[in-house]
């Protein structure tokens, strides 16, 4: 009796207050897809400025980077067991190479932190460089872990 209770307490303690919970695999899939949609949208607004497709607005770039820096942390709680099947482009390699997948995610997250810092400088050249690095980190994961 004591051991399962201890395991439960430890699990809850480590899970963190904002840990996402899912009733069904498709809920997890929808959740992570929603997070990726937000990431693409808010990164896209900054990338558009870096590419000269959207007029540069330093405050807007910073606000989008602040949102991005939060949402980049969300999808990775939603790649649990049993969420590899269904309406998903996630490749089976994710679950076969979870540490490598997490590492690629962490690389992207650290590039986003740098992008957030770059937007705080208000300097478009700094932002362009950081946008390029974030874009590469997105692409690395798409190439290996997302169906076309």
User: How many whole angstroms separate alpha carbon 67 and alpha carbon 73?
Assistant: 11
Total residues binding ligand ASC (CB under 6 A): 7
40 near ligand ASC (CB under 6 A): yes
From 108, 110, 85, select the one nearest 95 (Cα to Cα).
85
Judged by CB under 6 A, the chain residues 122 through 141 that form the site for ligand ASC are 135, 138-139
Q: What are phi and psi of 119, to 5 degrees?
A: -65, -25
**Which of 44, 67, 113, 128 is the binder for ligand ASC (CB under 6 A)?**
44
**Nearer to ligand ASC among residue 7 and residue 57 (C-beta):** 57
46 near ligand ASC (CB under 6 A): no
**Nearer to ligand ASC among residue 64 and residue 83 (C-beta):** 64
89 near ligand ASC (CB under 6 A): no
Under a CB-based contact definition with an 8 Å cutoff, are residues 147 and 84 in contact? Answer: no
DSSP alpha helices (H): ranges in 16-97? 25-50, 58-71, 93-96
Query: Would you state the torsion angle of the CA atoms of residues 84, 89, 92, 95, taken in this order, to the nearest 10 degrees?
Result: -60
Tokens 């303690």 found at: 13
Residue nearest to ligand ASC (CB): 40
Part in contact with ligand ASC (CB under 6 A); list of ranges 4-12, 13-21, 39-47, 89-97: 39-47
User: How many whole angstroms separate alpha carbon 115 and alpha carbon 72?
Assistant: 12
72 near ligand ASC (CB under 6 A): no
| Site residues (vs ligand ASC, CB under 6 A) | 40, 43-44, 47, 135, 138-139
């Amino acid at each position: 009796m004591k051991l399962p209770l201890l395991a439960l307490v430890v699990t809850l303690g480590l899970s963190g207050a904002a840990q996402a919970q899912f009733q069904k695999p498709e809920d997890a899939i929808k959740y992570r897809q929603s997070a990726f949609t937000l990431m693409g949208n808010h990164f896209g607004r900054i990338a558009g400025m870096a590419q000269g497709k959207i007029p540069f607005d330093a405050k807007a770039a910073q606000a989008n980077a602040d949102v991005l820096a939060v949402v980049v942390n969300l999808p990775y709680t939603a790649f649990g067991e049993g969420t590899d099947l269904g309406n998903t482009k996630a490749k089976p390699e994710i679950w076969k190479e979870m540490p490598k997948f997490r590492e690629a995610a962490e690389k992207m997250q650290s590039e986003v932190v740098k992008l957030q810092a770059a937007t705080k400088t208000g300097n478009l050249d700094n932002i362009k460089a950081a946008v390029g690095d974030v874009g590469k980190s997105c692409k690395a994961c798409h190439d290996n872990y997302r169906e076309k």
